[in-house]
Structure 1
């Protein structure tokens, strides 16, 4: 959002997740920058430098445009987080806002190792994500179609919802100490635009599939998004951890 200060564009979920973390004067990493929600929050809170890492060129361009009034403190890095191009012990605060649900278990493990590698002793980690949806949630059906399309096209699921307890255990194994868990949204608003975007993922995934496989999935996703309209379901959480002094990632 060119011409605006980053603070004007920071979602309440990001502000809540960062409220009890020391950001000012710190070198930060937004892992999986997306459209830059956490990057904007970190810059607004006075970060000395923010590395916004994404493997999506469109997202990279969006982050640069959105935060163009803070380019002296922002470095947008187009890279795979499984091979984060930052030095060991170089980051004081790491955020992963809505990232983990986009990673399959193997990718999640690799990314957790990399985030731990680049963290300084005493680094803070803030992971914001979604609990598995309740069985009664209608959006589960849409996400199941999205996963089916992705698995046929790439061999990988598009979405995996990890409980906060699992992420705590994962990062504890890499030398992080649990600080707190906070609820950011309960319930989560899945708006018409969100559902349309997920249906669009199905359309993209099925482009290279045989029509007899792809077309029914695309139609099913479109019908589900239209029928659901919007839904309030599930929980978004924020887990904060601190890198223990003296711990090193193998």
Structure 2
């Protein structure tokens, strides 16, 4: 074990590449399709409730989101939703699974800067096939020694992953306080928050301010300097 080597975990969606805005665009289309049955605010509340119920069954990602939209459409129309609307929701989900990867600002430079100095691990939630597709399109895959696609990000998740890495220090970099930062800190790692907006409702949490292993940076261009200060 190296005395100075780090393991650095990176979240994928909305940390290394755009993701959440595609969900918001699809949700706007969902509201248009069901405008005759429910006001946008009420529809959003029902969809959020469905997602919270279903995340334990379907996991995170496009497929679970589409199923939750279909379930909500059936509920708000008293099971009278037209088949054409269901077809459009399915088509919207398929389109989400085909969109071109758009890297977040400074993502490539940050990964390239840390790759020679740390063992990089991609730690992401979501559908296996979709996440593998996005990683392949990103052009960043070769810089990660390990890829972990998990159903949940908990303290135990990070403890397991960082134990396998076998380095004395670990860091997790991500846009979600709830999934990327707080449980990584609980596992003994440093947690680096890179805020992005909007934040998915299931990923909202209060920052652990006052914890010496918590850091927040405005974007990934600041990550190499932060890493240098801790190394």
**Higher fraction of strand:** 1
Same fold (TM over 0.5): no
Ranked by relative contact order (alpha carbons within 8 Å, sequence separation 6 or more), the top structure is: 2
TM-score by length of 1: 0.36
**Higher fraction of helix:** 2
